[in-house]
A and B are shown apart, each in its own frame.
Chain A
Amino acid sequence: MAFVQDAPKDSFRLGMLIYDTRYRAITIQVIVLTLFLLFLSWLVNNTIENLAAKDRSFDFGFLWQRAGYDINQTLISYTNDSTHFRAALVGLLNTLLAATVGCIVATILGVLVGVLRLSKNWLVGRMMTVYVEVLRNVPVLLWILLTMTILSETTPAPSDFRVTEAMIAAGEAPKATMMLWDTVAITNRGMNVPAPLVEHGLPRLELLGMSVNSNVLAFLVVLGGSLWVNSRIRGHARRVQEATGVRPVTWWKSLAVIVLPTVALLMALGFHLDIPTLTRFNFKGGTEILHSFTALTLALALYTSAFIAEIVRAGIMAISRGQSEAAFALGLRPGRTMSLVILPQALRVIIPPLISQYLNLTKNTSLAIAVSYMDLRGTLGGITLNQTGKELECMLLMMAIYLTLSLIISSVMNAFNRAVALKER
């Protein structure tokens, strides 16, 4: 707290640096800064001395050396001939993927559970309470390990899908079959789902040193265009409605505008699904979603959803009863009351703590170490660190990346929070 004080206006003395509150603040700041800088230089000096004593260097050159190891989930092309830098990039993308999917699932589950916990249904309410209490009072590490075990212990091995000559002769069915018209196979290694493929695709684009799949790009451009046209149509319909009170029927226009161009594009590209098939050891083809990924994301989502559920519940309870009573008085049904009246207001209470849950989830993806999901810690902070022995460089780089990630997430979410916050008069 600042104090307004009428100090006598006498000439400056050295003692005033300590005794005079006006100058004391400056003195303290100078001392703190000096101490901080001294501490920092002490650390740096120690590091330099230690590196010299161990005859080690501090450079990031190793990032451009051949990595030599393989990663089982790569969102960008990667082989064991790629560099450590690319391995780190693969890891970072895996981290981001797990964090994004985890946040989405956690939000959906959390909102659902939070709302259900307030349900008048006794059984459901109790079950949700148990859900929340059990999930949030046990270390997340346990959930990750358990989810991984359950996923890999309760699913069939790829060999169980095999139909041999002998089995056909004996009329036996294989122990396991694929799901959804033989397109999805869930094995104890992961989920093999069909992958979209194009027959005669466009060449890959080289943008900023990154290879971009132009098929996806074309698809997104066409879809975006269709959506834009659709929004124009809806806008027009709204204007007509406001002018005449009758809303023209637009659904067939929307449908045609959105569906036709994309279908045409896909037909032109020769789109088909790549369906996984059983080979000697594994299912090949399609996309494999590894259980380590599923386990990590699911466990983090479940754990975080318990916290989100509590946040949502608190948010809803913070809205005064008058609001829902007013909504009922207007004749709104409970569902619409929730979605139109309660949730929009509760959102303002919910978002700030939600941000920190998202941040927690993102940071917790580093527990991928427990199920050997190859995230940033697994590549840069794990195998690369081990193979090169550059612990200082790897760890510092990793911390810097996580820090940047957290700061980006919190600033984006804070901006969003400001946008939806109640504009006080």
Chain B
Amino acid sequence: MKNTVILGALSVVALSAGMASADTLADVKARGELNCGVNVGLTGFGAPDANGNYQGFDVALCKAVAAAVLGDASKVKYLPTTGETRFTALASGEVDVLIRNSTWSFQRDTDLKFDFVAVNYYDGQGFMVKKDLGVSSAKELDGATVCIQTGTTTELNLADFFKANNMSYTPVNVADDSEGQRQYLAGACDVYTTDASGLAASRATLPDADNHIILPEIISKEPLGPLVRHGDNNWGDIIRWTYFALVAAEEYGVTSANVADMATSTNNPEIKRLLGAEGELGKMLGLDNEWAKRAIAASGNYGEIFEANIGSATPIKLARGLNALWTQGGLQYAPPFR
């Protein structure tokens, strides 16, 4: 009987401790830790290293939020989620925010009762094929075998695309990115389809990257971004504006290196407001005025995070593309801080 009841007791203790109330900010502060739902198997976006430290593009946003809310970028508890468990983990309150390359779609935003608060990566579904197949367009893929990750929007996009173009295909459903890459490499499928960023990451790590091409067609819009539960708008605002602070920081040239100096030395009133040297923006979020400063200091501005994790200096070598700042022809645009 002993262990059973110990577990029962533990669960009761945990129950009382883990109540997810409507005020996520208060919960996070009381807990002293941000529960961040992440992907553990996507190179460059989220994966733990040999020491168990999580790293990646999505992970950096977790750190920024933790820095803004709790004052310490390391106070994050990363909860690994799979394609199947991620939304449940968020809905049940197991995680405070889900930052796991999830596509913003109508149904998820409305029917599943989530709020996508921002788009930290504009992606689209693409195709990668071997060069010797002699294919130059996705329209030539009639009859091909396609590797595709299950539990994602890509399945539906793929079915729609082939239907719209009156083509047939054989799906090979794979569980995760590494499995998809292996199957594709082994030749179990002619085409590997997933988000273009993932394709680029996969291609970059192939032993013979030059023998593979990513087809020009992008068949879907995949705005990937952090999401929170419906009904806690203040918490959503915090995630959203932490993210915008990172984007704005890039726009204004605030980096993790100069953020401390900038706060005092700058004359630009917008930067002053952003970094809390002027105005009371932090208070309006329910945080202190230094929040954005800490968020930027955590792992840099949007551009720094991009370059450090998935940019051209990394093996993944993603171009900024749509994710360049709006001033440079991209879509990343932060509303004014006032």
Question: In angstroms, how far is the closest chain B Cβ from the Cβ of A277?
Answer: 12
Question: In angstroms, how far is the closest chain B Cβ from the Cβ of A197?
Answer: 19
List which B133-167 residues lie within 8 A (CB) of chain A: 133, 141-145, 150-152, 155-156, 158-160, 163
Q: In the bound complex, do residue A282 and residue B170 qualify as a contact, i.e. CB atoms below 8 Å apart?
A: yes
The interface residues of chain B lying within 8 Å CB-to-CB of A56 are 113
Alpha-carbon separation in the docked complex, A386 to B107 (Å): 11
Q: What is the interface size of chain A, counting residues whose CB is below 8 A from a CB of the partner?
A: 37
Given contacts A385-B84, A391-B88, contact A369 B107 (CB under 8 A): no
The interface residues of chain A lying within 8 Å CB-to-CB of B183 are 152
Q: In the bound complex, do residue A386 and residue B171 qualify as a contact, i.e. CB atoms below 8 Å apart?
A: no
- A389 in complex: contacting residue of B111, B171, B188, CB < 8 Å: B111
Alpha-carbon separation in the docked complex, A203 to B108 (Å): 44
Q: Does A423 contact B (CB under 8 A)?
A: no
Q: Does B18 contact A (CB under 8 A)?
A: no
- B171 in complex: contacting residue of A71, A153, A282, CB < 8 Å: A71
Given contacts A188-B186, A387-B156, contact A382 B107 (CB under 8 A): no
The interface residues of chain A lying within 8 Å CB-to-CB of B113 are 54-56
The interface residues of chain A lying within 8 Å CB-to-CB of B111 are 389
Sorting the interface of chain B by its residue count into under 10, 10 to 19, 20 to 34 or 35 or more gives 35 or more
Question: In angstroms, how far is the closest chain B Cβ from the Cβ of A205?
Answer: 27
Q: In the bound complex, do residue A374 and residue B170 qualify as a contact, i.e. CB atoms below 8 Å apart?
A: no
Question: Which residue of chain A has its CB nearest to the CB of B86?
Answer: A386
Question: Which residue of chain B has its CB nearest to the CB of A386?
Answer: B151
Q: In the bound complex, do residue B173 and residue A378 qualify as a contact, i.e. CB atoms below 8 Å apart?
A: yes
Alpha-carbon separation in the docked complex, A280 to B111 (Å): 42
Q: In the bound complex, do residue B143 and residue A152 qualify as a contact, i.e. CB atoms below 8 Å apart?
A: no
Interface string of A379-406 (1 = CB under 8 A from B): 0001101110101000000000000000
Alpha-carbon separation in the docked complex, A158 to B189 (Å): 10
Q: Does A284 contact B (CB under 8 A)?
A: yes
List which B175-233 residues lie within 8 A (CB) of chain A: 175, 179, 182-183, 186-190, 230
Q: Does A372 contact B (CB under 8 A)?
A: yes
Question: In angstroms, how far is the closest chain A Cβ from the Cβ of B84?
Answer: 6
The interface residues of chain A lying within 8 Å CB-to-CB of B151 are 382-383, 386
Interface string of A212-223 (1 = CB under 8 A from B): 000000000000
Question: In angstroms, how far is the closest chain B Cβ from the Cβ of A292?
Answer: 8
Question: In angstroms, how far is the closest chain A Cβ from the Cβ of B251?
Answer: 36
List which A357-379 residues lie within 8 A (CB) of chain B: 369-370, 372, 374, 378
Q: In the bound complex, do residue A68 and residue B172 qualify as a contact, i.e. CB atoms below 8 Å apart?
A: no
Q: Does B174 contact A (CB under 8 A)?
A: yes
Alpha-carbon separation in the docked complex, A68 to B155 (Å): 8
Q: In the bound complex, do residue A188 and residue B187 qualify as a contact, i.e. CB atoms below 8 Å apart?
A: yes
Q: Does B87 contact A (CB under 8 A)?
A: yes
Q: In the bound complex, do residue B173 and residue A372 qualify as a contact, i.e. CB atoms below 8 Å apart?
A: yes
Q: In the bound complex, do residue B107 and residue A389 qualify as a contact, i.e. CB atoms below 8 Å apart?
A: yes
Q: Does B112 contact A (CB under 8 A)?
A: yes
Alpha-carbon separation in the docked complex, A147 to B25 (Å): 48
Q: Does B83 contact A (CB under 8 A)?
A: yes
The interface residues of chain B lying within 8 Å CB-to-CB of A149 are 182
Question: Which residue of chain A has its CB nearest to the CB of B134?
Answer: A280
Q: Does B91 contact A (CB under 8 A)?
A: yes
20 A–B contacts, CB within 8 A, in A order: A55-B113, A68-B160, A69-B155, A69-B159, A70-B171, A152-B183, A152-B188, A159-B133, A159-B187, A188-B187, A188-B188, A189-B145, A279-B143, A281-B190, A282-B143, A284-B143, A292-B172, A383-B173, A389-B87, A389-B111
Having A72-B172, A189-B189, one finds 12 other A-B pairs with CB under 8 Å, namely A54-B113, A55-B230, A68-B155, A149-B182, A152-B188, A158-B187, A189-B170, A281-B190, A282-B143, A288-B170, A382-B150, A386-B84
Residues of B whose CB lies within 8 Å of any CB of A are 83-84, 87-88, 91, 107-108, 111-113, 132-133, 141-145, 150-152, 155-156, 158-160, 163, 169-175, 179, 182-183, 186-190, 230
